[in-house]
Amino acid sequence: MALRVPKAELPAELSANMIKQLGAVPVPVEVAFHVPDVATATLEFPAGVAEWNAADASLTSFAHMAVAAQVGCGWGLDIGYFQALNQNVDPGKASRVPRWRESEVFSPLERDVMGYAEAMTDTPTTVTDEMSAGLLERLGPAALVELTVFIGFVNPATRTNTAHGITSQGYSDTCEIPPAARPQTSGVASTV
């Protein structure tokens, strides 16, 4: 898939900072920078999220990648896997998120979080009272609110990336274990 919106030129200082932090300027930022206020807003929210600490980082990582896999956002899986490794999330587990239902490496809580993330991503959403109650009991209100808002943010980000034709940028190429192929309804697996 080709980019549907060309990359915009970023200010040199911003570009240098992103390269220093991530090794490359994220393509979604380059595309969004046609409207600097949009690009800034899409950078500010994740920066704030990084400071949240009520929900365990591994749970938010798994939720992020579950949403990206469900939406078919290769860039979201790519950066999600890269970030998971930088958050000391087990790379063996992180690599299996696209096929979490078939994998035996996840705890019941991790499975419930990924199921919740997918239910929030369904259109219309399919979150049930039982899902919420189970997570509330195990995580507490603060972590559930944080997780829910995080998943809510990941949804438009992954959908925007796919609509713009943004695919994997190669962040996960620096990782030792590649992400698992995402199952397809046609029976043919593909990596996103």
- Comparing 8 with 82, the larger pLDDT belongs to 8
Single-letter residue type at 101: R
Number of C-beta neighbours around residue 87 at 10 A: 14
Long-range own/partner contacts, residues 87-93 (CB < 8 A, 24 or more apart): 87/57, 87/58, 87/61, 88/57, 89/57, 89/58, 89/61, 89/62, 90/58, 91/175, 91/176, 91/177, 92/177, 93/58, 93/62
Considering Cα of 26, then 32, then 33, then 36, what sign does the dihedral take?
Answer: negative
* Sequence ranges of the domains in the chain: 55-174
d(CA 127, CA 121): 9
Could you report the per-residue pLDDT of 151-176, keeping only the tens digit for each? 999 999 999 999 999 998 988 776 65
> How many angstroms separate the first and last alpha carbons of the chain?
11
pTM of the model: 0.88
What's the pLDDT tens digit per position in 55-111? 999 999 999 999 999 999 999 999 988 888 888 898 889 989 999 999 999 999 999
CATH number, domain 55-174: 1.20.1290.10
